[in-house]
Amino acid sequence: MNKVTIALLQHSCGDNVSKNLDKALGMIDSAARKGAQIIATQELFKSRYFCQQESYDFFRLAEPVTERSVTIKELSLLAKKRKVVIAASLFERVAGGVYYNTTAVLDADGKYLGKYRKMHIPDDPQFYEKFYFAPGDLGYKMFKTRYADIGVLICWDQWYPEAARLTALMGAQIIFYPTAIGWLPADKKEYGERQHASWETIQRSHAIANGCFVAAANRIGREPNSEKGKEGIEFWGQSFVADPYGSILKRSSTEKEEALIVAIDLDVIETKRVQWPFLRDRRIDSYGGILNRFNEE
């Protein structure tokens, strides 16, 4: 047995950034006391999901993400104090006009291990991320932490088997997905159930295809939209952890603020990959067309 206990933070966010941060820090502290060793936040956990609107005002929420930056230092202190690994999703500012959707990873001694910048950026009604974020330029990442080798991908990346594959091929045993996904109230009746099912299914499939654990942390709550006639987004929660067979080990509720704490056995990865040796039989000689947008005649 090679056990590690992970936790996914799922909470609502208000207008006050420092209150949101305090809430997350409190949840990390509490999860650590309950035995969590690797803890991931939801996407952009310090603020409301501002990408619902295109507004210049929200760029003031962005901050540097380096080992010396304010939020990273605060997270680092807590990581060290509680001996926990933290994957924290932040709105990164590099320079005026250069912003990313970024997740930083702190090791259990507080050391800043680096960051991943969201590679796949959506642009859909009320998810106007292309307005705010440049596409990630650091590629896929694997972080060797004290408790496990982890990968981090972010929300829209969830829909791309390529991103999960590449992260797993770097050696990630667990892929964390900080997420902010929910229903538009007008769509919920017709599409809500299958949107959620699609979301869960494709992430379970990444666990199956790659023989790794997948852990998605989503936010909860209805967040208003300042534009006239827009009803906001109802985030669907349901953070979950799937094992290498794609089985859901544990799932949060749709509405409850909670840290989903799950003990997993990393040895299952090797067992599964020996039983179903998908990596052995990949036809790497035949995948060149993946590098095209579409293979037109």
Is residue 132 a contact residue for its own copies (CB under 8 A)? Answer: no
Least separation in angstroms between residue 201's CB and its own copies is: 5
Residue 283 has φ and ψ, to the nearest 5°, of: -95, 75
Region 28-67 residues binding its own copies, contact defined as CB under 8 A: none
Among 118, 129, 141, 272, the one annotated catalytic: 118
Give the DSSP H or E segment for 71. Answer: helix 70-82
Q: Which residue has the tokens 């004290």?
A: 146
**Among residues 18, 70, 97, 294, which is the contact residue for its own copies, using CB under 8 A?**
294
Using CB under 8 A as the binding rule, whether residue 262 contacts its own copies is answered as no
Strand partners of residue 90: 102
Q: Which of 9, 105, 166, 269 binds its own copies (CB under 8 A)?
A: 166
Nearer to its own copies, 248 or 263 (CB): 248
CA angle 41, 45, 49 (to 5 degrees): 135
115 is annotated as an active-site residue:
no
Q: CA angle, corner 155, sides to 23 and 144, nearest 5?
A: 80
Q: Which of 10, 2, 100, 91 is nearest to 46 (CA)?
A: 91
Nearer to its own copies, 9 or 216 (CB): 216
Query: Quick one: tokens of 212?
Result: 């790794």
Contacts of its own copies in 96-125 (CB under 8 A): 119-122, 124
Q: Which residue, among 87, 111, 113, has the nearest Cα to 179 in the 3D structure?
A: 87
From 23, 82, 141, 204, residue interacting with its own copies (rule: CB under 8 A): 204
Q: Which is nearer to its own copies, 68 or 283 (CB)?
A: 283
CA distances from 150 to 101, 105, 176, 255, 274 (A): 18, 9, 7, 27, 20
Q: Is 155 a catalytic residue?
A: yes
Can 51 be counted among the known catalytic residues? no
Taking contact as CB under 8 A, which single stretch among the options 71-79, 84-92, 108-116, 241-249 is the one that binds its own copies? 241-249
Q: From 102, 77, 35, select the one nearest 261 (Cα to Cα).
A: 35
Least distance to its own copies, CB of residue 236, Å: 15
Q: Which pair of structure tokens corresponds to residue 211? A: 């023989």
Selecting among 43, 92, 129, 200, the annotated active-site residue is 43
Give the DSSP letter of residue 2. -
Q: Which residue's structure tokens are 């969201």?
A: 118
**Least spacing, CB of residue 153 vs its own copies, in Å:** 11
Q: Does 77 bind its own copies (CB under 8 A)?
A: no
Q: What is the closest distance, in whole angstroms, from the C-beta atom of residue 34 to its own copies in the complex?
A: 28
Task: Tell me the two tokens of residue 130.
Answer: 């292309």
Give the strands of the sheet with 3-10, arranged side by side: 112-117, 98-106, 85-95, 38-40, 3-10, 258-265
- Tell me if 149 contacts its own copies by CB under 8 A: no
Partners of residue 226 on adjacent β-strands: none
Q: Is 186 one of the binding residues for its own copies (CB under 8 A)? A: no
* Minimal distance, residue 145 CB to its own copies, in Å: 15
Under rule CB under 8 A, residue 131 binds its own copies: no
Residues labelled as active-site residues:
43, 118, 155
Which positions lie near its own copies, rule CB under 8 A?
Answer: 119-122, 124, 135, 139-140, 156, 159-163, 165-166, 169-171, 191, 194-195, 197-198, 201-202, 204-206, 208-209, 245-247, 275-279, 281-284, 286-295, 297
